[in-house]
Structure 1
Amino acid sequence: MRLRFSLQLIIGAVLIQIAMVSVLVWNTTREIQNSHAQLLVGSAQQQSVLMTSALVPGLAYRDPVVLQEVLGLVAGERDLQYVVVTDAAGHRLAWVGTPPDILHHGDAPVEVVPGRVSINRDIELEGQRLGALHVAYATTYADALTEALGRRNVTLGMVVLFLSVLAAVTFALMVTGRLRRLKEGAQAIRAGNLGYRIPAGTNDEVGDVAHSLNALAAELDQSHSSLERQNLQLNRSVDRLETLLQGAEAIIWEADPQTGEWRFMSGDTHAILGIPASRMYDAQSRERLIHPTDLPHLREAWRTATAHPRPVDYRFRHGSGEWIWLRDIVSAATDSDKRPVLRGLTLDVTVHRKAEAALKQSEARYREVLDHISEVIFRTDGEGRWTMLNPAWTELTGFTVEESLGRPVSEFVLSEDKPCLEAFCAPVIQGHIPFDREEVRIVTRDGGARWVSIYARSSLDEHQQVSATFGTLVDITERKAAEEEIRRLAFYDNLTSLPNRSLLHDRLNQAMATAHRNKGHGAVLFIDLDNFKDINDTLGHEVGDDLLRQVARRMLRTMRQTDTLARLGGDEFVVVLNDLHPDPLRAATQAEALGRKLIGLLQEPFRLDKRERHCTPSIGVTLFGQENTTVDELLRQADLAMYRAKAAGRNTLSFFAPEMHRAAEERAALEADFRKALRDRDFFLHYQPYVDDQGQVRGAEALLRWQHPERGRVSPMEFIPVAEQTGLITELGHWVLESVCRELAAWAKNPDCAQLDLAVNVSAYQFRHPDFVRELTTVLEQTGAPPGKLVLELTESLLLDDTKAVIERMNTVRELGVSFALDDFGTGYSSLSYLKRLPLSKLKIDQSFVRDLLLDPNDAAIAEMIISLSKTLGLEVIAEGVETREQLDFLSVRGCRCFQGYLFGHPVPLADLEDLILTGRTGTDD
């Protein structure tokens, strides 16, 4: 059945409209959707390329801050779901947006899935994959827009379809031109000319279709404008990225790997390089500005970048003429046409290189200082553990730095000092005080300890919490030892380690206060060694010091813990006894018992210089209790008692009595007068002759005399002990020797006196003096005295100690021609075995035996024994103190042939002696 044309036209028109509208709606929707996808993909790819290049430096240096700053430029983009930068191991370094927990990296760099467009791009440097960039854009907006347009298109299609039915009725009545205009309009819209509008003409169905198509075009135009705005935002992001690169003084470029020509460049070359960008595109122009030394390295980096990308630093001549340092980070890639290209990032690293060089120099200087400084430089964390130590730590403790780091500071502090360390560290670590100092002992590897002074300062973080402490450790071990030594020297004797005078005063004050408070008694024992000066001067100070140490050790063995033994100096010691009996007599008995014990201990021989030597003490004792007296007064009393013990024969003990004070004052006055007399040469010599059994003068003994202007004639028994105790006996004895030798020299020229001897008494102190032999030799040489006529008279006390040394010195003097006589023989303790070894010429019988030999059988026997002994030893014997004819006869009968005494003449001046010699008259002539 054939339809009418109008119906066919209507049907055909309707079908055509349906087809056209459907095609138009479908095509428009598809075009919009494809356009959205292409725009998103293109924008994402372009931005990922730029971001990849911009991210290379930060990823190369693994600097999350730089990476985050680059990503922050695109963080506000619409439809951006996330941007993630991962390292080669897939660890996230920086991101924006909300990335999924697991990132899928497929084979294709671009993934378009419903609702999302993803870009996955590797970031490489010199062939080494540094990481990857993952970018995802949501298609939500485009999908929603497409869906909305689809719904509108469907709606519009329905409207058009409805209108097409109406239009079909009148279609036949209308000219085909209006349909053609509709067709043209649809084609224009399909061609993308969304600004084209179909003339509506009459207000009929065709006009409605025209309006609908125009409305559709307007919607499409609006969608297109929205896409353009998105594209504009993308371009702005690109501009911001370029601005960032310019601010970072970087140039992004793309070059031909074969020719080196730059195809693309972005960056402010004028600001960075000082030249216009046009000079950078040409390879030859660019290479002329590169330092010749660095050019081969740069070319090699470009050549190997296709397989092995790597950064390279080189010098570039700035437009100002100066050389600057640039760094190219070159990577191989392919462009959109799959052609190989080189992409790079050029950075100005001049400041960095200078800073790096300065930093290296600074670090070298810092390390040199740390390595060579004597103080320990340290840093600890907030928990008090070492985090930094310099090599001085090893020098101080023996522990290496490596084994010490991470361990608590307290682990290296002596346990006794840990409370002190904790009290010091707590306020510093808690931030209560910014810095402090303390002194503690550090344990060393060998188990010892070193004193250190700690200086520590706390460091606060942004929350004002202590994050670390810095400081120094200074070795003060020697200072501490010096302080201890100073303290010891202040209160203890350096030689014996006994309390010294200062500490003695303190303890004696305490003892006196205790005795007064408890109504008890105490005692002070003043101890002086009798012949210490002889030992010290003859054997040397080292031997003397050894003797003092041995004496101190012996006496300490007798001390109670409550008693004090102190050394005042020289050979003087003081013992303070506490808690003695309340009864003074009982207390004195207790003090005497200890004194006697000390005497017994010190009488034992001492081993000095590989020989046994004797040294006895003289001890003075005084008590204290309820009396109001001072420390100095007590010591003075004990000192006076000690001198009384010496006067009593030494090696004994004496208690203080008030009359001792008067005697001490007299002795002090005598000493002052003696010093003045020695200075003014108020001494003179008298000579007492000794004769043979025929009454002929054989010689004389020089005797020292002192005529005091007030005291009158002072006995040698008084002033000789003073001379010995003060040490002035050496000076006095030298004067006597010199005077006698001058007389001998004068006698040598006088025939009447040339054959006579002159004898001089030499004290043990003077004889032991180290310079005695030298001084004697000098005197003999200067005076010209004949040595064979000089006789030195020595006492037996000289032989009590170090007899061997005495014999050696006597032999040395004997070699000079000087002879010896042993004075006062029989009163001492001479051993006959030693006596026969002495280089003696004469023995003198002491007058104490001669005086009573007619009355005392013992004295007579001793005198007879000495005469017999002298004959046996081949020595001449001289009897002293012969005052009567009976004494002379007794001695003569028994073989004595030489005599001295008042019977033959008193001590007289030299002139009187010479007259006596000339006249030949002695007391026996009467």
Structure 2
Amino acid sequence: MKLLPKLSLFVFILVASTALIAIFVSINTIRSINYDLNIQLIEKDLNNVHHFITDKYSALKKHDLHHVKNYYQKAIADTQAILSTTELINKGYLVILSESGQEIVNSSLDDGKSDKDLMDSKYLVSIQQSMTETAFSQADIKNSIKISELSHINRVVFYKKIPEWDLGLFIVLENDELYSRLNDYINNITIKFIIVLLMALLAGFLFSRYLVTRIRVALKQIHHVQNDEMNARIKNIQANDEISELNSGLNQMTEIIADKIRKQTQSEKEITKSKIALQEQHALLSAFISAMPELAFIFDETGEYIEIFGSNLKLLCAKKEDLLGKKLTSFMPELIAKQIMKTIDTTLKTHQPQVLDYNMEINGTNTYFQGHTAVLDFEHKTSPDLGLVILIAHDITEQVLAQKQAYKLSLYDILTELPNRRFLMERLDQEIARAKRHEQSGALLFIDLDNFKIINDNFGHLIGDLLLIEVAKRLTQQLRKEDIAFRLGGDEFVILLSNLDNNILTASIKAQTIAQKILEIIQETYILKDIKHHISCSIGVVLFPENECDSQDLIKYADIAMYKAKDEGKNSVKVYTSHMQALLEKHLQLQNDLRIAIKQSDLTIHLQPQYDHNGLIVSAEALVRWEHPDKGFIPPGEFIAIAEESGLIHALGRSVIILVLETLQKLLKQKVSSSFKRIAINVSPWQIGQKDFVTEMEALLEKYQIPASYLDIEITEQTLIGNFSVFAKKMEQMQNMGFYFSIDDFGTGYSSLSYLKSLPVNMLKIDRSFIEELTKNKNNDAIVDTIIVMARHLGLEVLAEGVETKVQLDFLKQHDCHFYQGYYFSKPLLIDDFINVLSNQAAANQ
């Protein structure tokens, strides 16, 4: 049964019970009150009767009982009159008995009854018997009234003793008579109480219904909340009682719950969104961790493997399942395990990330790792020294090997695999210190290849590199075990000779002997890509530690000695002396001055005439001249060598060509001689080896409007060494443009005479060294004659250089040499002087 019906039933039972109790209490109370009231009235009546009789018949003696009876009628009448006023007792009997129980008076109290209606004798006997036994025996002399209920005769007896007469006054009433009015009153009261009860029950029922209805409204609101109907509210709350407060509280509670549900829903949405994002991040992180090439380990403070992540599990020292739950000391080498444990301990104590590098053998390969640690901090840690540490191990094997390779590359030359300058500097300092400590002399050989740039420019860097590799091999093959060959860069090499001797002179001899052997092996033929090449070198030697200097100074001194060897004709060995420093400084200063002279166009050209067998000037050779503002005239052999070494030869050669073209403009404009054909220009191997040399020459001819046939390009046999095919192609291309080609200093080079039939050459110029020895040396004469005959058979013209005597000229004419040049005819002339000579020649021949 629900609470509300129970409440209604409870109210109903409560009201009914209350009413019944009230009726019962009221009836008993009324009964008691009415009973007491009747008793009091009867007592009053008895007293009245007693006083009336006493007062009225006080003169009578007690033995004058017959007088009492005589006055009976009058006493009864008076008594009835008195009793009738009470309206309470009018249904009983008045009896007077003597002390012995003798009936004296027996009369009805109802004035409507006669004497015949006296009390039944059976009742009188019972009263007499009872009174004799109880009333009279128990009555005191006080004028109190006694009551005795004779239940067996259904009578109630009221009696009072009259002591002065020894009589007893009795009023006998029937029970029904005594309580008749009371019962009527009780019945009346009962009916009224029943009506009140019914009204109370109805009121209780209606009140309970009212309460139930209002409570059901609250219950309905609670059901709405239970069913998540948060928009429902209790309306029309107007009363100001507890239920209204309850309903208002329910509305407030519903609003609070609705607000919390809204917030909870929003929170759940956010949580759901966060969960989704977290799941996505977790999936991404899991994929990342699984795919990352690194290994991630989680260790506890004891070094136990808690978890292992990463895709490159092949780098583990054992299987993952074998490692988990075990300590790293069980699997790793002792030293590495101690190193990692120390790092874990430091990480936990400092809460700072740590880095460690270690390497160990994995699958037979030495693998390098770099580990980064961090603390996995949790709130439930009981001690700062306890906890978990994550270690991310990067496989840096490739990086380490690359660093080692880089270090090697930093110490070794990539091309030749010889130690480089950095290695030399480190080793040289050690060797100087060791030589001082053991009093042993050593030496440094600085080697520079002669004319290497010609090969590099004309055959390309591939051939040049192959040549350098071969030179490196030859150098290392000639060294002792304790000696080291280095490549400084380009075509420069250094050889460090250790422990030569404790005697400085002996050490110097040994160093020069080794240097001479190197000269010999470097000059041997190189076959590169099926082509023969030749090269020489210049070597500077410096001894240590007698020269109190460091490694930088030693290299500088050896370099100075090497340049001295080049200045003296190359392909030689020079030992450093102190005066070489001044020569080097002079050399460097001159190099800088030459750069300025070329830039400021301070160079000039002189023209040395070239004659035919008729003595006419048919051409001239352009000779560059440099008048230094402080040092005066600088010989061409000196500054041209500097230009070649410093790379200024290209700028120098271009300047000379421009000067020649400007000179030709003047000559052609003045038309000084119809016999004049061309000006010869000596072109260096570096210059003609340039890729754009042909294009550049063509552009210059176009700029100055000079026909190519007015230029005679002189090349040396040395230029053709190893560069034949390259130069032959360029020469053929330029000859087709109209250029004239001559081989200068013919007979002094190493080229095969077979080149002559393949090259687009127009003239051979016999070197002055052969002309100087004419008529003095038969072999020399034979060589000159052979050159002239060979040129005739090849269809080439021949010019003799350095003709200075008539004897030389006569020999040349006898052997049909075509052209002559030398001081016998003319020294090199200024341009204006050369023009004047041509003008005079033209005037003389008119």
| Shorter-chain TM-score range | 0.5 to 0.7
Q: Is the 8 A contact 1:742 1:785 kept in 2?
A: no
Q: Structure 2 CA distance, aligned partners of 1:367 and 1:408?
A: 29
| 2:258 is the counterpart of 1:320 | yes
Equivalent residues of 1:376, 1:392 under 8 A apart: yes
Counterpart code for 1:677: A
Alignment of 1:284-683 (within 5 A): 320=258, 355=271, 358-372=274-288, 376-381=295-300, 384=303, 386-391=305-310, 393=312, 419-426=335-342, 428=344, 434=351, 436-441=354-359, 447=365, 449-457=367-375, 462=381, 464=383, 466=386, 468-476=388-396, 480=400, 484=404, 487-488=407-408, 491-493=411-413, 495-541=415-461, 543-606=463-526, 608=528, 611-683=531-603
1:94 is matched with which residue? none
- Write the distance in 1 (CA, Å) between the matches of 2:228 and 2:374: 57
Shift of 1:796: 0.9
Q: Which one is further off, 790-799 or 386-395?
A: 386-395
Aligned residues: 599
Q: Distance in 1 between matches of 2:785 and 2:319?
A: 87
Per the TM alignment, residue 695 of structure 1 is displaced from its structure 2 partner at its CA by 1.3
| Distance in structure 2 (CA, Å) of the matches to 1:451 and 1:511 | 36
- In structure 2, what residue type is equivalent to 1:364? E
Task: Quote the offset at 1:385 in angstroms.
Answer: 5.1
Q: C-alpha distance in 1, partners of 2:452/2:286? A: 57
How far 1:529 sits from its partner (Å)? Answer: 1.2
Shift of 1:456: 4.2
Specify which of 746, 752, 767 is matched with residue 831 of structure 1.
Answer: 752
Q: How many angstroms apart in 1 are the aligned matches of 2:575 and 2:368?
A: 51
**Paired residue for 1:779?**
700
* Deviations 1:455-489 (CA, angstroms, capped at 9, x unpaired): 24376875536453223234555664665466456
Is 1:685 paired with 2:605? yes
Check if 1:813 corresponds to 2:722: no
Cα distance 1:432–1:756, how it changes in 2: closer, same or farther (>3 A)?
Answer: same
Partner of 2:764: 843
User: In 2 relative to 1, CA 389–352 (structure 1 residues): closer, same or farther, beyond 3 Å?
Assistant: farther
- Cα gap change, 1:662 to 1:427, in 2 (>3 Å): closer
Aligned 8 A contact 1:389 1:401 in 2: yes
TM-score (norm 1): 0.58
Distance 1:625 1:771 in 2: 49
Give the SS at the match of 1:449.
strand
With over 3 angstroms needed to count, the CA separation of the structure-2 counterparts of 1:756 and 1:440, relative to structure 1, is same
Q: Deviations over 1:330-363 (max 9, x none)?
A: xxxxxxxxxxxxxxxxxx9997886566345324
Shift of 1:888: 1.6
Structure number with greater Rg is 2
Alpha-carbon distance in 1 for matches of 2:330, 2:831: 88
SS of residue matched to 2:535? coil
Counterpart CA distance in 2 for 1:882 and 1:691 is 11
Paired with 1:411 and 1:732, the residues of 2 have a C-alpha distance of: 76
Is contact 2:317-2:331 (8 Å) kept?
no
Distance apart, 1:726 and its partner CA: 1.0
Verify the 8 A CA contact 1:842 1:875 in the aligned structure 2.
yes
Contact 2:714–2:743, Cα closer than 8 Å, also in 1? yes
Contact 2:531 2:722 in 1 (8 A): no
By how many angstroms is 1:685 displaced?
0.9
Distance 1:574 1:864, change over 3 A: same
- Kindly tell me: are residues 627 and 899 of structure 1, through their superposed partners in 2, closer, same or farther at Cα, counting changes over 3 Å? closer
One-letter amino acid of the counterpart of residue 742, structure 2: A
Would you say the 8 A contact 2:449–2:537 is kept in 1? Answer: yes
Shift of 1:289: 5.2
Mapped partners of 1:554, 1:524: distance in 2: 17
Matched position secondary structure for 1:601: helix
Partner of 1:86: none
Q: Deviations over 1:162-208 (max 9, x none)?
A: xxxxxxxxxxxxxxxxxxxxxxxxxxxxxxxxxxxxxxxxxxxxxxx
- Look up the match of 2:822: 901
* Identity across matched positions, percent: 33
Query: 1:408 offset after TM fit, Å?
Result: 6.4
Which deviates the most, 445-454 or 833-842?
445-454
Q: Distance in 2 between matches of 1:737 and 1:409?
A: 80
Structure 1 residue runs without a partner (length 5+): 1-274, 292-315, 326-347
Q: Partner letter of residue 907 of structure 1?
A: P
Matched letter for residue 258 of structure 2? S
Cα pair 2:680 2:711 within 8 Å, conserved:
yes
Residue of structure 2 in register with 1:17 after alignment: none
1: distance between equivalents of 2:325 and 2:369?
Answer: 22
Out of 667, 677, 685, the residue aligned to residue 747 of structure 1 is 667
Q: Give the match's secondary structure for 2:623.
A: strand
Displacement of 1:527 in angstroms is 0.8
Q: Which amino acid aligns with 1:573?
A: F
Q: Could you say if the C-alpha distance between residues 583 and 775 of structure 1 is closer, same or farther in structure 2, counting changes exceeding 3 Å? A: same
Structure 2 length-normalised TM: 0.63
Q: Supply the distance in 2 between the matched residues of 1:379 and 1:767 (Cα, whole angstroms).
A: 70
Q: For the structure 1 residues 591 and 467, does the alpha-carbon distance in structure 2 shift closer, same or farther, using more than 3 Å as the test?
A: same
The unaligned stretches of length 5 or more in structure 2 are 1-216, 232-253
Residues 440 and 452 of structure 1 are in contact (CA less than 8 Å); yes or no, is this contact kept in structure 2? yes
2-side partners of 1:400 and 1:410: how far apart?
15
TM-fit CA distance, 1:525: 0.5
**Contact 1:399/1:445, CA 8 A, preserved across alignment:** no
1:607-657 residue CA offsets vs partner (Å, 9 max, x unmatched): 556644333221111212344333333223222221232234323322223
Q: Are the aligned partners of 1:318 and 1:324 in contact in 2 as well (CA < 8 Å)? A: no
**Comparing both structures, which one devotes a greater share of its residues to helix?**
2
CA distance in 1, matches of 2:283, 2:371: 23
The farther-off stretch of 881-890 and 728-737 is: 881-890
Aligned to 1:217: none
